Amino acid sequence: MNTSSATTDSQVTNIDTIKNYLLSYWGIIYLLIGTIGTSLNLYIFTDRNYRSSSPCIPYLLASTLATLPLMYVSILSRIGIGFRITPFYYIPILCKLQVYIANVSVSLVIWFTIGSCWDRFLSSSRKACVRRMSSHRNSRRTILAITFCISAAYAQIFYCFDGPLVMAAAPCSAKNTPCTTIDTILLFFIQFFAPPLLIFCLGIKIHQNVHQMATISSQQQGHVLNKQKADRSILKMIVFQVIVLLLCSIPIIVFRLYSTATMTISKSNLRRSIENLIFNATLMIFYCDKMCSFYIYTLTSYHFRKILKGFITRMRCINVIVPAES
């Protein structure tokens, strides 16, 4: 019995070590590529000409801004776990803030992406009255509404979460069964189930609208076609981001369904350690599209690459040293 217990303890230690290496190095990579990409996103989306080119751009800018707390709170906390620096596990207010910021920022990124899909649906409609709803003013109003609703929905975290909890799956967790149920329902609705359904429905409608508008615009010339070309470029950028978002969401959705189904089962330390490793791996995959949005935009949008090249050219010109005249 003692030998079996020692073997189990050794396996748990090895799994925890793997988890710590995974979080520390994966998190550092995310932090580096995310900081570079987000900085360039902010420059491009705040460019006056590009920002005014489409009512969809404010959603992408808002999504980029929502990535900042995700990087510098959630990703840093994962790196801290990897290096065994975990003050948010043991200080209740840090526990609540870390969970709140992580959930709100991830949800905002997802719902701002849905907002950009909604704007593409409006702008691609055959009806002029519907197309007029696609405006910068309405985009700003929708962004404020999304921010308020999501921030309010996760306010329950300040009551439900606490740390340190000895018998919970993690030291910073929901403190009782009703709180766990509320948190799970919100998680599945806001982050996992509603977004894919809305994106799927909007995607079908956008495809139908674009096909219909292509037939109409085949007889048009001039600036209308140029505007539609720019709109298609932005649409392509959003479509690829949505595809990557959905692919990155699948692993954590499957794991969350499993963990919810087995929530009432008594588990050994080894099983909890394995599940904790899988959870952290799926969580880091879930963060991938948020950290790599700049690279997705660069690969899929000609207009995005054009502004990026202009920025790089200007930076090179600034750094050129002009020799003094003799």
DSSP state of 174: E
Encode pLDDT of 114-173 as tens digits: 998 899 888 888 888 888 898 999 999 999 999 999 999 999 999 988 877 665 666 778
d(CA 247, CA 285): 9
The better pLDDT of the pair 144, 174 is held by 144
Encode pLDDT of 260-312 as tens digits: 788 778 878 888 888 889 989 999 999 998 999 899 888 887 778 887 888 78
Contact indicator for 126, 212 with CB cutoff of 8 Å:
yes
Q: What's the pLDDT at 102?
A: 92
The better pLDDT of the pair 314, 324 is held by 314
Q: Which two tokens stand for residue 72?
A: 């510098």
One-letter amino acid of 44: I
Q: What's the pLDDT at 246?
A: 87
Alpha helices in 132-193 (DSSP H): 136-153, 157-160, 177-187
For the chain, the domains span 16-213+226-294
Q: What's the pLDDT at 228?
A: 59
> For the chain, first and last CA: distance in Å?
88
Please give the class, per CATH, of domain 16-213+226-294: mainly alpha
Mean of pLDDT values over 90-105: 90
Encode pLDDT of 187-197 as tens digits: 889 998 888 88
Pick the closest to residue 122 from 223, 194, 206 (CA basis).
206
**Is residue 66 predicted with pLDDT exceeding 80?**
yes
0.85 surpassed by pTM: yes
